[in-house]
With several copies, the nearest count.
Chain A
Amino acid sequence: MKAKIYVTLKEGILDPQGRAVQQSLQTLGFPAVEDVRIGKFLEVDIVETEQAAAEAQVRSMCEKLLANPVIENYRYELTEVSLPK
């Protein structure tokens, strides 16, 4: 299985990187850009064919390591892929 995991800053938390990117986009000639938020996009390959088992693992990874609940939210999608072996 392949998990696509999106980790984003919680609403209301200032995103210094996003703000800087927004400002540079504006000076670069994109005045229409109102807001930029920057998060992480992780692709995780898991040798696991069962949807439920894979899902449990992904959730647990996110909680233990991949996202920091003080500042971040996460969501994920699982897709089946045929891994060799």
Chain B
Amino acid sequence: MKHDNKPSTTESLSKALIHQHGLSDEEYQAILAHLGREPNLTELGVFSVMWSEHCSYKSSRIHLKRFPTEGPRVVQGPGENAGAVDIGDGLAAVFKMESHNHPSFIEPFQGAATGVGGILRDIFTMGARPIALLDSLRFGELDHAKNRHLLQGVVSGISFYGNCIGVPTVGGEITFNDIYSKNPLVNVFCLGIVEKDRLLKGLAQGEGNLVLYIGAKTGRDGIHGATMASDSFDDASEKKRPNVQVGDPFLEKLLLEACLEFLEQDLLIGIQDMGAAGLTSSSCEMAARSGTGIELDVALVPRRESGMTPYEILLSESQERMLLVAKPGKQDAVLAICHKWGIDAAVVGKVTNDGLLRIKDGTQTVAEIPAKALAEEGPRYDRPAAPPSYQDSLQSLNLDMLPDVKNPDEVLIALLGSPTIASKAWVFRQYDYMVGTNTVVCPGSDAAVVRLKGTQKSLAITTDGNSRYCLLNPHMGGSLAVAEAARNLVCSGAEPIGVTDCLNFGNPERPDIMWQFVMAVEGIADACRALNIPVVSGNVSFYNETNGLSIYPTPILGMVGLIDAPEHITTQWFKQAGDHILLLGQTNEDLGGSEYLKVIHAREQGIIPWLDLEVEQRLHRCLLELIRQGWIQSAHDCSEGGLLVTLAECCITSPLAPLGAQITIPPHRIRLDGVLFGESPSRAVISVKPEHLDAVREAIVQAGVPLTDLGRVTSSSFDVTIQQAAPVSPICFSLPGSHLADIWKHSLAKQLDGDE
């Protein structure tokens, strides 16, 4: 062992400096124990980012263990750049979701763009070709100019990056609530496909193998971005405007093609993208996973600015960079491919067997840290959790204080025009959702469907999450999100096979926030277990808080389902006049936390719907059976806005001309607004050709799923008759389908462009 070239630790680091790096006294003590000496400044910086909440999951890790992560299809569970599930035909679907909330608030366009870039790299570092993106967004209400500006910036950033790189953005979701005005959420999901036995991992095996750096040159971008994402905002941070990263989708497209060529030619031991904490996290994570060490020379790293210190090179978050370990003797082939695509590449180090991350600057060693101390042995906290004092008052709502609905047609129109329910075409038509020519169900149905060329199969994909539910009851809210995602897939004809999550919460050092987190994780875990859907990857974003005000707890699920045959692909809209309309599932007085209460009564309160997972599963089995028999024309899950909105959507969301419906709502024992606008889970509206009606009815009854006949599809107007218990006469209304369609279609554009 050479002791002559240890990193120098000349001056002792001041307490202030340690705290500036976001490290607590105990954490600093742990660093001393790991090193057996004081760290120097570079090492302190490295520990600081790797032990940040963003990279270490120190507050969440112990809770994430509750997720079911195994199953017969799971090829890769959590722990790698992305998860993977077997989809047959020798293929695996690789997917993950990630947040870019903080950067998108500071610089919406670049923040969102680099978010897309980051998640794409997570997928293609697994050797998979990305085939679909989805984005899940949360913003403040659009009557504030600032929120409109943020939304416009974020959407154009996603559009800029995704369109340019040529991966279709096939879906997503967006809802509005002022709680997100100062903490908008930008979560991006990506799905890729790889031959199952060619899955690549972030490994650094084989002493002496060379470590290569490829991609963009390193600049001083986003130094300490990871620590920023682990910090709350206050008004001052809007002014601070820290080092923003700029995305280069063109370069990333070249990187993507180059990486797939490496795979084709079998040149690599392992590969990892340089995301948060850049060179540092990629190298120590690769070494730690493999039980090896890595030695890097920062002097060899391609740079675009002069005078960069090792500290800056190690912590830079410049985008579009990857670290890879080449198979012995294959480095020249790697370099040649990089040359062909015009990408910078350099050998920057080698794999060692001493378990250390050793950083050199030429001949001088500037840092030397056990890789596992950084990547795996960071702090873990079981932080105190307790429900907030206001939880009870959130849940208590006396519905008798609110008048029941008198004019359901007016409420329907108000809901269809409300931004959370209105058409999101203003957003997705800025995205290229067709490139790749696999998108067989474009944005606008319950789930997007992409076909897999060369097979009979397709994948359905959706993202879902209802933060108001999670605020009112985080455990049930988490379960409901899983159920809704799965229901969306099932309505599209798919069997759910895997899920990724992005958990957006406030400050985990607050017991009430931690309680929300723990409850939501439990709720998600329970539902995934009951529905047999493994969690294969995910991401946690804490500190979504400004001036002490936290966002609603917002777990988002990204779920993937498998469709075996093209005939089973099902969309949500009615197909043909004359078809019968049926409601599957039971309607209860589920108004608590509903969109109706918020839009019409300005309340975000109440007891949220109760989810019975067995009932939910029964519905899924029944729907899939009906779809596979070829018996149904359309299926749409009942969610935000309730039954009446769902029925209207079935009429107006078709890419072709809108249809109408003749609906009769049978007499009911609960409040009328509960019937029409309540959000009971485990329900779906289907349409059936007359010749299949009997078979369908019988199958539904056999399956033990409650069934209600609602009427027939018609060619134009939306006619509703609501029967009342005698002697009250029925409520009737009739609205032209085209009128409903106009309101629903143009609402967002009206608010955002001021025209149309």
Indicate yes or no for A touching B, C-beta below 8 A: yes
Interface string of B249-275 (1 = CB under 8 A from A): 011000000000000000000000000
Interface string of A63-79 (1 = CB under 8 A from B): 00000111100000000
Chain B's nearest CB lies how many Å from the CB of A82?
A: 16
Partner of A71, one of B216, B219, B220, B246: B246
CB of B244 within 8 A of CB of A70, answer yes
Chain B's nearest CB lies how many Å from the CB of A63?
A: 13
Query: Do A20 and B250 contact each other (CB < 8 Å), given the known contacts A14-B216, A69-B241?
Result: yes
- What range describes how many residues of B lie at the interface? 20 to 34
For residue A16, CB closer than 8 A to chain B, the reply is yes
Bound-state Cα–Cα, A12 to B219, Å: 7
Interface string of A16-51 (1 = CB under 8 A from B): 100110010000000000000000000000000000
Bound-state Cα–Cα, A68 to B157, Å: 14
For residue A52, CB closer than 8 A to chain B, the reply is no
For residue A53, CB closer than 8 A to chain B, the reply is no
Partner of B250, one of A12, A15, A16, A68: A16
Query: Do A14 and B220 contact each other (CB < 8 Å), given the known contacts A70-B106, A71-B244, A71-B246?
Result: no
Partner of B110, one of A19, A69, A71: A71
Bound-state Cα–Cα, A71 to B216, Å: 18
For residue B304, CB closer than 8 A to chain A, the reply is yes
Interface string of B699-740 (1 = CB under 8 A from A): 000000000000000000000000000000000000000000
Query: Do A70 and B241 contact each other (CB < 8 Å), given the known contacts A14-B318, A23-B342?
Result: yes
CB of B342 within 8 A of CB of A13, answer no
For residue B305, CB closer than 8 A to chain A, the reply is yes
Bound-state Cα–Cα, A16 to B244, Å: 14
Count, A-B residue pairs, CB within 8 A: 36
Q: What B residues does A15 contact at CB under 8 A?
A: 246
Partner of B107, one of A14, A20, A23, A70: A70
Q: What B residues does A70 contact at CB under 8 A?
A: 106-107, 110, 241, 244
Query: Do A14 and B342 contact each other (CB < 8 Å), given the known contacts A69-B241, A70-B241, A71-B246?
Result: no
Partner of A14, one of B106, B241, B304: B304
CB of A14 within 8 A of CB of B219, answer yes
Bound-state Cα–Cα, A19 to B248, Å: 10
Top 3 closest pairs, chain A to chain B, by CB: A16-B248, A14-B246, A70-B107
Chain B's nearest CB lies how many Å from the CB of A43?
A: 16
For residue B625, CB closer than 8 A to chain A, the reply is no
For residue B221, CB closer than 8 A to chain A, the reply is yes
Q: What B residues does A68 contact at CB under 8 A?
A: 107
Name B's A-contacting residues (CB within 8 A): 106-107, 110, 216, 219-221, 241, 244-248, 250-251, 304-305, 318-319, 342
Chain B's nearest CB lies how many Å from the CB of A25?
A: 14
Bound-state Cα–Cα, A11 to B279, Å: 22
Residue in A14, A16, A20, A23 with the greatest tally of chain B CB atoms within 10 Å: A14
CB of B305 within 8 A of CB of A12, answer yes
Taking CB as reference atom, which chain A residue is nearest B221? A14
Taking CB as reference atom, which chain B residue is nearest A68? B107
Chain B's nearest CB lies how many Å from the CB of A21?
A: 12
Residue in B106, B245, B246, B247 with the greatest tally of chain A CB atoms within 10 Å: B246
Taking CB as reference atom, which chain A residue is nearest B107? A70
CB of B246 within 8 A of CB of A13, answer yes
Bound-state Cα–Cα, A68 to B246, Å: 13
Taking CB as reference atom, which chain B residue is nearest A14? B246
Bound-state Cα–Cα, A72 to B110, Å: 13
Chain A's nearest CB lies how many Å from the CB of B104?
A: 12
> What are 5 pairs between A and B in contact, CB < 8 Å?
A12-B220, A14-B246, A14-B248, A16-B246, A20-B250
Taking CB as reference atom, which chain B residue is nearest A10? B244
CB of B107 within 8 A of CB of A71, answer yes
Bound-state Cα–Cα, A45 to B305, Å: 16
Bound-state Cα–Cα, A19 to B318, Å: 15
Taking A12-B305, A13-B221 as known contacts, 20 extra A-B pairs with beta carbons closer than 8 A to each other, sorted by chain A number, are A12-B221, A13-B246, A14-B216, A14-B219, A14-B221, A14-B245, A14-B248, A14-B318, A16-B246, A16-B247, A16-B248, A16-B250, A68-B107, A69-B241, A70-B106, A70-B107, A70-B110, A71-B110, A71-B244, A71-B246
Q: What A residues does B216 contact at CB under 8 A?
A: 14
Q: What A residues does B221 contact at CB under 8 A?
A: 12-14
Bound-state Cα–Cα, A60 to B305, Å: 29
Taking CB as reference atom, which chain B residue is nearest A9? B246
Bound-state Cα–Cα, A84 to B241, Å: 32
Chain B's nearest CB lies how many Å from the CB of A68?
A: 7
Chain A's nearest CB lies how many Å from the CB of B149?
A: 10
Bound-state Cα–Cα, A1 to B106, Å: 34
Q: What A residues does B220 contact at CB under 8 A?
A: 12
Bound-state Cα–Cα, A30 to B221, Å: 29
Bound-state Cα–Cα, A69 to B107, Å: 10
Taking CB as reference atom, which chain B residue is nearest A71? B244
Q: What A residues does B304 contact at CB under 8 A?
A: 14
Chain B's nearest CB lies how many Å from the CB of A59?
A: 18
